[in-house]
Chain A
Amino acid sequence: MSGQKQDDAEHPVAKSDTGQEWDDPLDELAFRRAEALKQGGEAAIERQHGGGRLTVRERIAALTDAGSFREVGSLAGSGTYDAENRLVSVTPAPYVAGFARIDGRPVALGGEDFTVRGGTTFGSQRRKGGQGGFVEDLAWHYRIPLVNLIDGAGGSVTSIRKRGHSVFPGVHGFERSVSLLGAVPVASAVLGTAAGGPAGRAILSHFSVMVRGRSQIFAAGPPVVKRSLGMEIDKEALGGAAVAVDAAGTIHNAADTEEEAFAQIRRFLSYLPSNVWEAPPVLPADDPADRRDEGLASAVPHKRTQPYDMRKLLKLVIDRDSGFEICPTNGKPLITLLARLGGRPVGIVANNPMVYGGAMDAAAARKQVHFMELCDTFHLPIVFFVDVPGFMVGEKAEREGTLREGMRAVFAAGRLKVPTLTLVIRKCYGMAGMATCNKNDIDLKLAWPSAEWGSLPVQGGVAAAFARDIRAAPDPAAREREIEAEFAAYASPFRSAEAFAVEEIIDPRETRPVLCEFVELAERRQRIELGPRLRGGVQP
């Protein structure tokens, strides 16, 4: 291992094609280190900057605590030797990796150096980064988070000629990448154009972010699309953030700049322990746990067809400025938010009545499954803010497999081990409602007085169940209203509370104190159940 810092600059440099020999091996070490710092050369670095992108070394410096980068593998590369076998120059391996600290906590991190052969391989049998790369071993063995700074399109066909044979898929497989997802936080930033292996690795992350207008991700880029489908499409239209983040949810979040992407990664990691054997990091809370916000009393409109801003509501409850939304632009009927309550990290799953009344569609269900498993893996309690009328309906929803994806959310909720709290704000209907609680373990069902629930809403439900009765009446519409009115009385949440079907109905203004207390109480249980989660069964 070398102990190279990024600001080393003054070292001997080869000035001709004639190689050098050194009497003191320390001089050779210094020369080789200097060669590594040249990356792909000035012209390539200029091109990288010209594209509005940082170099991998600049990225590492921008992401991590100042001076904390401890490089590993800095001498790896391809040496050029003269006729006497003396070293002329070294082209560094197109991947820079090592340890560093983020907010004082250690991480393993690495990224492709796009200035060196576009971040492809460098001919060694051993990989520094990528799937099966040494950087993954660092994270795995030291049990610390992994950050991937992705800027490469994977293997180059030129390596076939070098090796004399082609490589079977999986020789450098994703096995370690998969194991890491159950052990330490993995965050990936897509900073250039990612295809192939690097694109796959970005997906095998707990959190991923890309830069709007600067980075793209796809299974294969425009030339392959042209050859395979005869379709002309540019890389931004194929895999820019509008497609990969907003439309597809392939990548969780978008950032406007690389710096903002790094800030998002730092923020994401701040809620999580370094590994699944440690408890989530508790911070001193400067927002009183007993704060009651008057605004909550009027947050939900009386008219049940009128939506409200769930994000604003959540802000009134969580520790001030503690929220970080994952996947804000995909699966929009649902909000998934990392936040703190009394300084303790929690995961919040909230329905968004502004989009399809909060009905769960396929994208929202996928988003909920990933987020619940993230929280469960790292032992963050989950708080559900429920306002869900059910699964999304209609032909489009059926074609997207909403029922299957939605039941997958029910399945995933059903095997949560982490403490869960279900707070019904307004609607909680049907199977989508069942995806918001888990009666296996610590689980508390609370509701606001505005709550309503059931297998299906009285409106519509009455029309279906009493169709014959309604049709036979002299005034069918009046008969339908009459039956609905009768049933509406039973739908009061207080009737359910009488039957102890929910544990408590709370004043909305008490929400924060009650949640903070619950999360603090649950901590004891969390601490004795740390470690990896074993998830059995087959997802539907």
Chain B
Amino acid sequence: MADHEIAADVTGTVWKIVRQAGEAVAEGEAIMILESMKMEIPIEAPAAGRLAELRVAEGDPVAEGDIVCVVTA
């Protein structure tokens, strides 16, 4: 069991939450989608596991490097 803290690569806003806290996620699956520079940037699970924590909600601004969620693999 390892916790993966997932950081946003970009500054932007949370456009859509795809997976809710507690749900199982597959490796490479989109957990949420950020909007930045008019692009929809997916935040993907680095490994299969459970979405332990969601730290942002739709519409929230995020800065580059912010931890947006935690996946327990």
Contacts and interface: CB of A to CB of B under 8 A. Distances in A.
Contacts of B39: 305-307, 353, 356-357
Interface in A363-407: 389, 392-394, 396
A356 B10 contact: yes
B37 interface: yes
B9 A332 contact: yes
Contacts of A353: 39
A65 B12 CA distance: 49
A354 to B, nearest CB: 6
A13 interface: no
B40 interface: yes
B10 A355 contact: yes
Contacts of A396: 11
A359 interface: yes
Interface in B18-55: 36-42
Given A332-B9, A396-B11, A356 B36 contact: yes
Nearest to B65: A247
A305 B38 contact: yes
Contacts of B37: 356-357, 359, 389, 392-393
Contacts of B38: 305, 357, 389, 459
A389 B11 CA distance: 16
Interface string A324-356: 000000001000000000000000000001111
A306 B40 contact: yes
Nearest to A389: B37
A459 B11 CA distance: 21
A396 B39 CA distance: 19
Nearest to B12: A356
A305 B42 CA distance: 11
B36 A357 contact: yes
Interface in A381-439: 389, 392-394, 396
A332 B36 CA distance: 14
A233 B23 CA distance: 39
Given A356-B36, A357-B36, A307 B41 contact: yes
Contacts of B11: 394, 396
Contact of B40 (A305, A332, A392, A393): A305
Interface in A155-172: none
Interface of A: 305-307, 332, 353-357, 359, 389, 392-394, 396, 459
21 contacts: A305-B38, A305-B39, A305-B40, A306-B40, A307-B40, A307-B41, A307-B42, A332-B9, A354-B9, A354-B41, A355-B9, A355-B10, A356-B36, A356-B39, A357-B38, A357-B39, A389-B38, A392-B37, A393-B37, A396-B11, A459-B38
Nearest first, the 5 A-B pairs at minimum CB distance are A357-B37, A357-B39, A356-B37, A355-B9, A305-B40
Given A306-B39, A356-B10, A392-B37, 5 more contacts: A307-B40, A356-B36, A357-B37, A396-B11, A459-B38
